[in-house]
Amino acid sequence: MLGVVIFAATLLLLFGAINLTRRAGPVAAAASPTHGTQSADTATAAPGDGAAPATPSPRAATPSASLETDAVLSGAGDIASCSSGADKKTARLVDAIPGTVFTAGDNAYDNGSEKDFQDCYDPSWGRVKDRTRPAAGNHDWQTNDLEGYLGYFGQAAAPDGKSWYSYDLGAWHIIVLDSDCSKVGGCDTGSDQGRWLAADLKASSALCTLAIWHHPRFSSGIHGNARSTDPFWRALYAAGADVVVNGHEHDYERFAPQDPTGHEDRLRGMREFIVGTGGAPQRPFLSARPNSELRSTGTFGIIRFDLHKASYDWHFIPTSGDFTDSGTAPCH
């Protein structure tokens, strides 16, 4: 009898040890770290006439932030003319996208007068005026002292009494500059605008920065490179800015990240977008500039930026046709 009891007790101890071992398995597995995958920075395009192949960046993309910090910025430059109906089509695109609207200059042709804004701009892009943060262009300056432009947009165009300003949008810092240098006392570091830009960049704590002005520093279009905006590029590059958006050329062009001298810089360079596709008649390209990744003319449209906490997505949206461009990249 004693032997039976001892045998039964031994079996109970053995089964208990087996069960403890089985329960310990999942706990150990849960303690092992799980590693996610990191996708490469990408750019895709559906080429239209005059388009060059898109080139992806080899840098690793930073994951997008939560929707709480995301923001949307959309727009174009070279927009409204009473002799063209394309601006009405691009207006419908920005009207359908939530968020903030930008302009990249030459808002109302031909002269940026009060009449040009009221008769040509207001019937189209005027529908998003209450959420537009504009930039001035050379055609806007053809009316003395920007009277038509400032009279139409009011404080939104010059919150501090100057045609340059900045604001925060989500986690991003947005800077709007005036590249009509001869009209504003210069664009160099010693000018009023240059000193303001240096102070603004120093005061910003944002990880991600996007700047907008009219004349592109680098361009394959008929106007070519605007050397007068070199001080802007140098100041922004030194501060670690990420994106530059321009107009002036009536086309669409995207550049690889570059330094101020025009050399490709995938680590710290700024990516330039020329979006002169808001409605003014399109123009041909001359010769492709170094680091030009994608070019298209003959397609009207707007660009949409989805601004995340530490990265951004871009998407060029045409009014018609099959040309488009999209991609994603991290902030510096």
Per-residue pLDDT reduced to its tens digit, 185-198: 999 999 999 999 99
Each residue's pLDDT tens digit, 62-89: 333 334 579 999 999 999 999 989 999 9
**Is residue 65 a part of any domain in this protein?**
no
Q: Is residue 12 part of a domain?
A: no
The answer to whether residue 186 sits within a structural domain is: yes
Strands (E), the chain: 42-46, 71-76, 100-103, 132-133, 165-169, 172-176, 208-212, 243-246, 252-255, 271-275, 292-296, 301-307, 311-318, 324-330
Evaluate whether residue 37 is within a structural domain: no
Helix (H) or strand (E) holding 200: helix 192-203
Please say whether the beta carbons of 123 and 104 come within 8 A: no
Give the integer Cα–Cα distance in Å for 91 and 98. Answer: 13
Q: Which residues, listed in sequence order, are joined to residue 311 by a DSSP beta bridge?
A: 330
Residues of the chain above pLDDT 70, percent: 80
- pLDDT of res. 61: 33
- The tokens for 133 are 């943060």
Range in 3-12, 118-127, 154-163 with the lowest mean pLDDT: 3-12
Residue 195, SS3 per DSSP: helix
Query: What's the pLDDT score for residue 23?
Result: 36
pLDDT (0 to 100) of residue 43: 74
Q: 320 pLDDT exceeds 80? A: yes
Say if 45 falls within a structural domain.
Answer: no
Domain enclosing residue 281, as ranges: 70-330
pLDDT of 22 higher than 70: no
Residue 59 lies in a domain: no
Do the domain assignments include residue 39? Answer: no
Partners of 331 in the β-ladder: none
Would residue 293 count as lying in a domain? yes
Lowest mean pLDDT among 14-18, 38-42, 219-223, 306-310: 14-18
- pLDDT number for residue 68: 53
CATH code, domain with 316: 3.60.21.10
Segment (H or E) for 92: helix 86-95
Give the Cα separation of 163 and 159 in Å (integer).
8
Q: How confident is the model at residue 323 (pLDDT cuts 50, 70, 90)?
A: very high
Asked if pLDDT for residue 24 goes beyond 50, the answer is no
Contacts of 144 (CB under 8 A, 6+ apart): none
Mean pLDDT of the chain: 86
Closest to 192 (Cα-Cα) out of 203, 181, 202: 181
Q: What is the pLDDT of residue 102?
A: 98
| Predicted local distance difference test score (pLDDT) of residue 47 | 59
Tell me how many domains the chain contains: 1
Q: Which two tokens stand for residue 49?
A: 């006439």
pLDDT, tens digit, 9 for 90 and up, residues 258-309: 999 999 999 999 999 999 999 999 999 999 999 999 999 999 999 999 999 9
